[in-house]
Each structure stands twice: as C-alpha cells, then as structure tokens.
C-alpha cells in the first residue's frame, strides 16, 4: 500500500513570499486533513476535505492560507505573504469513508522555514 505522500519535504523561503505544498492521500481515502505542528507542540488542525468539498476550517487558518482539493484526490495548501510565525511542520492526513474509527493516517510532513 502506498501511504500519504507530501511534497516538498522541506521548504525554505523568505518572508513575504508565497509557498504551496502538495499532499497525495492514500488512494480511495475520501477525507483529507491538514495540520500544523510547531516545535514542542502537538499538531493543530487546520482544515479538512470530504472529496473535493472543504467542510471545516479552523480559526487558525488565516486569510493568507488557502487549501484546495479540486478533483477529490490530491490537495494543495498555499500560504501567501509568508511570515516568520508560519515556520512549522505542515502535516497532511487521510482517512477512509467514516467507519467506526475514522483513523487518520499521516504523511511525512513538509517542514517550512521562513527567513
């Protein structure tokens, strides 16, 4: 089985630049989630999709953040006008159609450093 993949694994950018991350979920998983993890903390939920529909967004997702899942397969997370506070690990997870556990399986993450 192919797990969740994320690209790139690392991104270094200058403050004010835009960045885009990609997530490919496990095939046949129709739910896809984005989380952000800062140093010394657990992941924090950002948003999730069921197929191509974005169903929930955290208040953490400021106007500079946008996520898409246009065909219900891969997803992109874009951060515009990056700030140093955006430096974090961005994790993607996927889960199958709701079952009795709805377990989320995570990708390796994209580590963003904003200089």
Among 30, 45, 52, 72, binds other proteins (CB under 8 A): 45
Position among 75, 82, 94, 104 found at the interface with other proteins (CB under 8 A): 104
Question: Tokens for 111?
Answer: 């580590």
- E strands, the chain, in order: 5-7, 10-13, 19-24, 31-37, 44-50, 53-57, 65-68, 75-79, 88-95, 105-106, 110-114
Q: How many residues bind other proteins (CB under 8 A)?
A: 28
Binding-site member from 31, 79, 86, 88 for other proteins (CB under 8 A): 31
Tell me: does residue 107 bind other proteins (CB under 8 A). yes
User: Which residues are 110's β-sheet partners?
Assistant: 90
User: Can you give the binding site for other proteins, defined by CB under 8 A?
Assistant: 31, 33, 35, 40-46, 48, 55-56, 58, 89, 91, 93, 100-109, 111
């Amino acid at each position: 089985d192919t797990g969740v993949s994320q690209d790139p694994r690392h991104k270094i950018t200058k403050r004010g630049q835009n960045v885009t991350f990609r997530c490919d979920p496990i095939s046949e998983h129709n739910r896809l989630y984005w989380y952000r993890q800062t140093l010394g903390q657990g992941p924090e939920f950002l948003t999730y999709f069921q197929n191509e529909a974005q169903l929930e967004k955290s208040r953490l997702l400021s106007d500079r953040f946008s996520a898409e899942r246009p065909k219900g397969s891969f997803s992109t997370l874009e951060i515009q006008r990056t700030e140093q506070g955006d430096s974090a690990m961005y994790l993607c997870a996927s889960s199958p159609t709701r079952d009795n556990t709805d377990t989320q399986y995570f990708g390796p993450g994209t580590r963003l450093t904003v200089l």
